Structure 1
Amino acid sequence: MAETLTQGPSPTPATLLPALGRAGLYGALVVLALVYATPLFVMVITSLKSLEEIRNGNLLSLPLSPNFDAWIKAWSGACVGVACEGVNRFFVNSVMMAVPSVAISCLLGALNGYALTKWKFRGADLVFALILFGCFIPFQIVLVPMASVLGMLGLASSTAGLVLVHVVYGVCFTTLFFRNYYAAFPSELVKAATIDGAGFLRIFWRIMLPNSLPILVVTVIWQFTNIWNDFLFGASFASGTAQPMTVALNNIVNTSTGVKEYNVDMAAAIIAALPTLLVYVLAGRYFVRGLMAGAVKG
């Protein structure tokens, strides 16, 4: 009798099915995560192997004697064109290109979104429609006119020229993000500040921008990822020592002379991907929050 009481009720199909469903779901997620992470795993372990081990070993086998020689060579000794100085210079170029491009395009997008929602003028909807149209213009269409403009401004084949290109192309997206976010922002706060004598810029700096952190994170992540990973604009509007990291990586991987060093190629690819990976790891959880914050109205 006591043994029967301690055992409790036996599981029924009604209780087993939800548990099995959860187990199946988690199992499928684990399998998909492993499949998704396999390329990165292969890149990392290959970058830690010697060339002899890569030739004689298995693609998924762990390195017998891990070392960072390939990373050191990729950073400071790999041949990019005729110069064998590594990717460090081009990495710096990408930083110098991405940081001002993201900052300027986000600031302009915030100002545009603020003006189009809280200081609406005659024809504001038409202006927004034209800006929105810019989001759908393919990269290839703007190559020739942009090259002409950069030539007239004296910014061809320079990092400053790439900054201008990315700001002009990215301001359409940043305006869209901030406009949708500010459309749901209480207009009463702006009206109250206007009654108190605050002007356009003061309201923007003191009220709008401090309350824009969710959409600001979204916009920064979006812009930084697109700008850092861009290859077409970098290959078209920069040359020589002004080329960004993506162009240098392409030159290393696609070189047709000498011994093919797969470990160096993998190390260079990981170095090129690290900034965007870190951005998503550190701020990725705020990305969806920011998108949902601007999805209520607009």
Structure 2
Amino acid sequence: MRKFVKPRLIVSKCIGFEACRYNGLIIKSEFVEKLKDHADFYPVCPEVEIGLGIPRDPIRIIEFEGELILYQPAAGLDITEEMKKFTQNFLGKIDDIDGFILKNRSPSCGIKAVKVYQGFGNSRTKSRAGFFGNAVLEMFPYLAVEDEGRLRNLKIRENFLTKLYILADFRKVKKSRSLNELIKFHSHNKMLLMAHNQENTRKLGRIIGNADKKTFDELISKYQKIFYDSILDPPQNKANINVLMHAVGYFSKELTHDEKAFFLDSVEKYRNGIFPLFVCLNILKSWIIRFNNEYLTDQTFFEPYPEELIPITVV
């Protein structure tokens, strides 16, 4: 069983931590509740932080004379500058954070599909990220960032958790200041990194080869840049399948015809969106245990996050 580093996340406070939504309610998220046992959360409500009460009149994003404004219609209040100031101060002090879970469609925290109104009327013209959420995406594009609504989708949740836990591992390596720990990190994550970007994985391998005998600080700086670039986007199904097929090659002589056929059928169902990735991973994990393959046992690709977080039914 893999030992996991606890990720550190900033979360919208209304998602299971405090009844601070504009209407005085709290948002229930089964996924966030499950994750509380496996991660450290740091809740924040930007709207409350800038002085808006609980409950409060709703705010909205409006576009006026080419500018985006955060506005509270009932009070006729422009809170744009207050939100910008809080956002920059808060995010500018962040250190050692692996990800964010933010309130979906919120004018402050939303990362997608936030309504933008044309002028001061009720005409909606487009959508974008909220003021705080947009700043998070701009300042931390390499972190695991999602909203609680999108995390109801299994594939999005798989990708989010995989990224979150590899980032937590990398944070621990940076703190260790140990070349041996960096080498172990790269070795254990090699297949996972290959699924993201094979060329960058080779570049990372050359960096930790350290032919020029560089210091840890010099190495980690170069490694981090390419590592973050590699995990910026989740791997495509095709890339994951390439790694799955590479892994099954370790057992090709030991497996029966029917076992191979069953696995290939599962891979096809994953390719076609019928099965989630963890179904194929669990088949391979059973063979890793059966044939006691030490190299594959250490690969995070087969257990990227705690299995307790796998369940499909999340509301």
TM class by shorter chain equals: under 0.3
Greater relative CO (CA pairs within 8 A, separation 6+)? 1
Query: In proportion to residue count, which structure has more helix?
Result: 1
TM-score, L = length of structure 2: 0.24
- Please identify the structure whose Cα radius of gyration is greater: 1
